[in-house]
Structure 1
Amino acid sequence: MLSRTAENLFWMSRNMERAENTARMLDVSFRMSLLPSTLDTKALHFEPVLAIAPGSGSFDELYGDLTHDNIIRYVALEPENAGSIWSLIRHVRENARAQRSAISSEAWESLNSTWLQVQNLDFEGLKRWGYRDFFDWVKERSHLFRGVVFGTMLHDDTFRFIRLGTFIERADNTARILDVKYHVLLPETEQVGGYVDYYQWGALLRSVGAFRAYRRVYHDTVYPWRIAELLILRADMPRSLHHCYEVLIGTLDELAGKKQLECRRLAGQTYARLRYGRIDKIFGGGLHEFLTDFVAANNQLGTQIQEDFLMVPMPLAGAA
């Protein structure tokens, strides 16, 4: 496969996953802002979105006032923000158009129709649509794309580069949203384990589609340390760090064959920490430190994949 083709497929899937993850972050922030709380919900729930998905970092220049509507508009629809959902879907469509012969017609149609539905959407239209309905739509379009890819394309190298982009980005998002939740909310003075805290953690689980999975695994109330265990170490949780790296390891093995590539070594190094890690040891060394190290290692892996397989390394649209 040509490296240019592999690059377009990698970034097509990575940007689509990032659009979904951005919608999930906005959704959980919106849900949390509706809960009763004595805390400053603007700073607590929406401002961290700018830290997780800063895009081009031009929010202050474009809007100035830190309001719920401004943050949603900037992160969801702002064309000047390279990391907005609107911009990410545009990049997805451009990558897909460049590789129409490599992907199935159904995959192309799903991405093209997604762009056609969002390209002329303005903020008034978004408010009429409803924030949560829009976030759900973005997630559903991402699910549709992945389902179509899995069900209509050969599971060859084309499919594998799409998988690489998806799971590199998914792991990054899970680590970032978990880190921000712990870092921002847990030290606050509200009672841990209270009903507000329960619904806040429940909203986080729902943002990564893990609420029912948590109840099936633990059969108990929602505890922060168990959420961390579920989203970091559970191999059977689809958005956990462990599961993402299990898929990445298998995919890289299929792509590399017998070649000893640096990206495979880096992925194996991180995978070992996740496979053999224990949540008490992670907390003992500091959850924030663990997640910060993971994000750095995940970014290094993405760069190394570019060097080993693709064209000249380039940053993800909107990445800091």
Structure 2
Amino acid sequence: MLSRIGNSLFWMGRYIERAEHIARYTKVQYVSSLDAPLAQSKDFVLESILSMAGVYYKYFGLYPQLNEEDVINFVTLEETNPFSILSYISGIRENARGTRDCISLELWEAINQCYHRVNSYSAARLQSEGVFRIAKLVEESTSVIKGYIDNTLIRNEVWMLISLGIHLERAIQVSLILLTKIRDIDKIDKEKLGGPVENYQWTTMLKSAESFDMFKRYYAANPNRRNTLEFLIFNPAFPKSISFNLNYIHKSIRDIAFHEKKEAGSINFMAGKMANSFKYMTIEDTEGGLTEFLNKTLKDLYDLANVLEEKYLNF
């Protein structure tokens, strides 16, 4: 396979997962500003959305202050923002176009339909209908796309590279959600910590990662700091946990014929070291340094992606 094709397949997977997570996070956080009696202030929510999407400073470089309409449009439909949902959907389509001979007709049509549906949105329509509808459209469309990836592609390197991109990006996005919500909780009045206001933040964290229902079934308890973090970081059987995705990444890298020596510095070594370190850790091991732990996890994931691209997917 040409490196150019491999790179496009890998980034197609990453953009799919990125668009989905940012759409869901924006929807969940925005709705949380409307709920009663624990509704959060609008500025609190808008800052959280910008931070998770990685555009906090970029936004304030263009706009003098927080404004609901500006923030939502900037994160969702702004064409000049390379980190907007529309830009990611465009990236999915462009990478699919470049690999048209490798993917199924059904997958291409699903991607093309998603692109045209999102691209048809105007700022006026977004303001009229609200963020919930466009976020739901993106969530449903990316779910259909991932369904066609799993159900119409031969299990060869094409499927494996797309899946590798999806699961690597999922681990990154869940890490970003965790870091963003932990920062949000740090902003809460200390007198309210440990009560319903803090627990509400753990609930929105789970909903942002599409994990709330399975969490409730698994623990049969209300979310709190310990069980929420344990579920999203270390649960090896839950597809949205960091641990699950690290195991999947390691398996994918082993299965793809990268033709490298299994030594320190190789992508197989890096992925295996990360995945196995999570197997022998508990949530107690992160106490006192959770933010540092998540930042290191995020850095290791970015380093792994960079090594993969530089060694095998550059063209």
Q: Classify 1:226/1:203 alpha carbon distance in 2 versus 1 (closer, same or farther; 3 Å).
A: same
CA–CA distance in structure 2, aligned partners of residues 153 and 10 of structure 1: 15
**1:256 partner amino acid:** A
Say if 2:295 is the partner of 1:295: no
The SS at the match of 1:81 is coil
Contact 1:31 1:203 in 2 (8 A): no
State the partner residue of 1:271: 275
State the partner residue of 1:245: 246
CA–CA distance in structure 2, aligned partners of residues 208 and 84 of structure 1: 19
Q: CA deviation at 1:257?
A: 6.8
Contact 1:56 1:81 in 2 (8 A): no
Could you list the per-position Cα deviations for residues 92-137 of structure 1 after superposition, in whole angstroms to 9, with x for gaps in the alignment? Answer: 1111111111100000000001111111311211133331122111
CA–CA distance in structure 2, aligned partners of residues 65 and 56 of structure 1: 11
Aligned-residue RMSD, C-alpha: 2.0
Say if 2:195 is the partner of 1:191: no
CA–CA distance in structure 2, aligned partners of residues 276 and 256 of structure 1: 28
**2:27 partner amino acid:** D
CA–CA distance in structure 1, aligned partners of residues 233 and 302 of structure 2: 17
**2:183 partner amino acid:** H
Contact 2:177 2:209 in 1 (8 A): no
CA–CA distance in structure 2, aligned partners of residues 257 and 18 of structure 1: 25
Q: CA deviation at 1:259?
A: 3.3
**1:223 partner amino acid:** N
**2:165 partner amino acid:** G
Q: CA deviation at 1:275?
A: 1.1
CA–CA distance in structure 1, aligned partners of residues 47 and 99 of structure 2: 37
Q: CA deviation at 1:232?
A: 0.4
Moved more, 194-203 or 176-185: 194-203
The SS at the match of 2:47 is helix
State the partner residue of 1:212: 213
CA–CA distance in structure 2, aligned partners of residues 54 and 138 of structure 1: 19
Q: CA deviation at 1:67?
A: 1.7
**1:303 partner amino acid:** N
Q: CA deviation at 1:58?
A: 3.3
Contact 1:12 1:162 in 2 (8 A): yes
Unaligned 5+ segments in structure 2 are none
CA–CA distance in structure 2, aligned partners of residues 217 and 70 of structure 1: 39
CA–CA distance in structure 2, aligned partners of residues 48 and 12 of structure 1: 26
State the partner residue of 1:255: 256
Moved more, 51-60 or 94-103: 51-60
CA–CA distance in structure 1, aligned partners of residues 83 and 72 of structure 2: 12
CA–CA distance in structure 1, aligned partners of residues 261 and 31 of structure 2: 46
CA–CA distance in structure 1, aligned partners of residues 167 and 31 of structure 2: 26
State the partner residue of 1:146: 146
**1:273 partner amino acid:** S
**2:205 partner amino acid:** L
Identity value in percent: 30
Could you list the per-position Cα deviations for residues 211-241 of structure 1 after superposition, in whole angstroms to 9, with x for gaps in the alignment? Answer: 1111122111111221100000001111110
CA–CA distance in structure 1, aligned partners of residues 276 and 44 of structure 2: 34
Count of matched residue positions in the alignment of Structure 1 and Structure 2: 311
Moved more, 40-49 or 92-101: 40-49
Q: CA deviation at 1:156?
A: 0.3
Moved more, 248-257 or 160-169: 248-257
State the partner residue of 1:175: 175
State the partner residue of 1:315: none
CA–CA distance in structure 2, aligned partners of residues 173 and 20 of structure 1: 10
**1:208 partner amino acid:** A
**1:283 partner amino acid:** E
Q: CA deviation at 1:186?
A: 4.1
Question: Which gives a bigger RCO, structure 1 or 2 (Cα 8 Å, sep 6+)?
Answer: 1
State the partner residue of 2:77: 77
Q: CA deviation at 1:61?
A: 4.0
Could you list the per-position Cα deviations for residues 189-208 of structure 1 after superposition, in whole angstroms to 9, with x for gaps in the alignment? Answer: 25234333333322221121
Name which of 303, 307, 311 aligns with 1:308. 311
CA–CA distance in structure 2, aligned partners of residues 17 and 154 of structure 1: 21
CA–CA distance in structure 2, aligned partners of residues 178 and 59 of structure 1: 21
Contact 2:6 2:158 in 1 (8 A): yes
Q: Classify 1:257/1:307 alpha carbon distance in 2 versus 1 (closer, same or farther; 3 Å).
A: closer
CA–CA distance in structure 2, aligned partners of residues 56 and 193 of structure 1: 28
**TM, length-normalised to structure 1:** 0.91
**TM, length-normalised to structure 2:** 0.93
CA–CA distance in structure 1, aligned partners of residues 59 and 180 of structure 2: 19
**2:5 partner amino acid:** T
The SS at the match of 1:184 is helix
Q: Classify 1:154/1:133 alpha carbon distance in 2 versus 1 (closer, same or farther; 3 Å).
A: same
State the partner residue of 2:160: 160
Q: CA deviation at 1:74?
A: 0.3
